[in-house]
Amino acid sequence: MATQKVTSAASSAPIEARRQSVLFEEIASLAYRAERTFFFGPVACELDARRANFETERERLDLMMRELRDTFARIGLFADMGVQMSGDPGIIGGVEDWLLPPSYPADAEVDQGAGSVTTPRKPARGQDEN
């Protein structure tokens, strides 16, 4: 019976290594995309309300900021998954904590009658738990 556990653990090692490799590849790819988005995106200090294309440039800047936020959230999610694979509890949490807005009541019990959340989300890193 002990040999089965050793054999099972040994056979899952390549799978775990591949899973970790895929996570790191995705993190690197997302980080590169974020860097390129930032490099080629509009620069806020160069926006000039007097120019004819001001609204277009402002919209491009807003879209770039949203894209970067989404990209950083995915980087954080994949890094958190890697931390959890190593046996630690993780930094922020899972998909709901990283990708959904703070208004989303993750892991909460919602009172259907009143529509209120009775259990708040886990606070984000750097926020008080009170």
Q: What are the residue boundaries of the structural domains of the chain, listed by start?
A: 12-91
Strands (DSSP E) contained in the chain are 110-111, 116-117
pLDDT at site 119? 40
Q: Cα separation of 53 and 94, whole Å?
A: 40
Amino acid present at 78: F
pLDDT at site 85? 86
Average pLDDT of span 33-49: 84
Q: Cα separation of 22 and 118, whole Å?
A: 37
Q: Give the SS3 label for residue 117.
A: strand
- 75 pLDDT above the threshold of 80: yes
pLDDT at site 28? 92
- 117 pLDDT above the threshold of 90: no
pTM metric for this prediction: 0.64
